[in-house]
Amino acid sequence: MLRILLSLMRINWLNYRPADCLPYACFCETVSTGFIRQPINAYTNLGYIIVGILILIYLKKTSIEKSTTAAISGLPRKLLKLFGIAYIAVGIGSFIYHASFIFLGEELDDDSMYMIAIFLVLFEAARIRKLSLRQFLWIYVLMNFAFEAIIYFFPLVRGGLFVFLMFVALGIELVARRMLSIYNEVRLTDHANLIFLAGYFFWILDKSHAFCYPNSFFQGHAIWHLLTAYAGWVMFKAMDTEYDKGARLIKDDDPFNVPLRKFYNQK
């Protein structure tokens, strides 16, 4: 649908300011002069859009059986809609980026990625220090503007900032779970983090051209898209456990001192 819309607009990407990654740092897949300049990397962004839509559908269908307020952070469940919207945004932004390789597409891609990472940072932080919905949204908007300004003036830090934010979210989550955690949230969060790290491994291989077949259907960056899309779904399910009416709170066990196998097999 997006391709048809852009075709009707008769857009010629070469008439616009090119992305900063050109000509040599735009991942492994060959950058063509066609309308979709990196088709494999572009179309795999559908995974993000599908996950975002599934999140919104799931939130609506399970609204009755779930609590409206998180067991630990106290944040309203409707806030998770923002996470679903962010995933749809990253799918659209990244598609435009890989289809066009124009500067605006690059900005949209990065901005939508920060929408996801900043959401995770604040959601985890709220488990340590309570945030009202208004506080969360204000900080969320301000942080997004701040990071947009940073990458505008210092474009070389684009990808690194996103990974930095994701590791900040992970660090805060590890601190939060020492204080109070939910059994299923810990299990699912760890799974999501492992999937994300696997995707990041393929991102590094592709970006560095350590494993690169430019004209192949097999693209490391496309695998990054698919794995991080799935990781987003698992992370959403982890956050959503805070809204289970029978959420199992763990106060005494320290996940740092209990082997994962034993921790996950508790009854």
75 pLDDT above the threshold of 80:
yes
**Which domains does the chain show, CATH number per domain?**
31-264 (1.20.1070)
pTM of this prediction? 0.86
142 pLDDT above the threshold of 80:
yes
pLDDT tens digits, residue range 149-179?
A: 888 888 778 778 898 999 999 999 988 888 8
DSSP structure string for 19-46: PTTTTT-S-SS---SSSSSSHHHHHTTH
The sign of the CA dihedral 122, 125, 126, 131 is negative
Are 164 and 151 in contact by the 8 Å Cβ rule? The answer is: no
Are 129 and 180 in contact by the 8 Å Cβ rule? The answer is: no
pLDDT tens digits, residue range 118-138?
A: 999 999 999 999 999 999 999
260 pLDDT above the threshold of 50:
no
Which of 32-36, 46-50, 246-250, 251-255 has the highest mean predicted lDDT (pLDDT)?
46-50
pLDDT band at 255 (very low <50, low <70, confident <90, very high): very low
